[in-house]
Amino acid sequence: MSATFGIALGSNVGDRAANLRRGVRLLTQRVPGCRVVAGGGIYETEPVDCAPVTQSFLNSVIEIEAGCTPQELHAHLAAVEQELGRPAQREKNAPRTLDLDLLYAGDFVSDDPALIIPHPRLNLRRFVLQPLADIRPDLRLPGHTRTIAEHLAALQDDPSCVKRVAASW
């Protein structure tokens, strides 16, 4: 049986675009029955809550179908991050080769501190909402009253802080 998952990707170290592509490739190789069903645009984003000299990020979102649980997928995401050089133990908001965040898992909801689903800050982050709106603007996550497009429209930050650099993968 297959489930649908949304995953945010980010990179701000090395060849950022190659890191995103390699991360997706490794993920699809690791996860049983995994296939990418949609991918948002790729956006360049100024770092948020990072050291002043931190390089900008490339961010995107993919939606996958996979034959695993949210907890199993979360473990796979961490393994792919580590394979691409992100240490398991790290400072908060440290530069990273690859960051993979599980945004949603179908209708699954979890408030376990080890895995909160839907992602607790998804609706506050333009760098996540913008590429997600590219592929799922009408998605309404469990526990949310607004769609992804409505969350994006409600943000009060400067939209120019997220610049599209590629329309697709």
How large is the angle between the packed helices 16-30 and 70-83, nearest 10 degrees?
A: 130
pLDDT confidence tier of residue 49, bands split at 50, 70 and 90 = confident
Q: Are strands 57-66 and 42-45 parallel, antiparallel or unpaired?
A: antiparallel
Spell out the domains of the chain, with CATH numbers in brackets. Answer: 3-166 (3.30.70.560)
| pLDDT score of 46 | 84
Sorting pLDDT into bands at 50, 70 and 90, what band is 90? Answer: low
Identify whether the C-beta of residue 140 lies closer than 8 Å to the C-beta of residue 10.
no
Residues 6+ apart with CB under 8 A from 111: none
Residue tagged 């049986």 (tokens): 1
pLDDT of residue 77: 97
Average per-residue pLDDT for the chain: 92
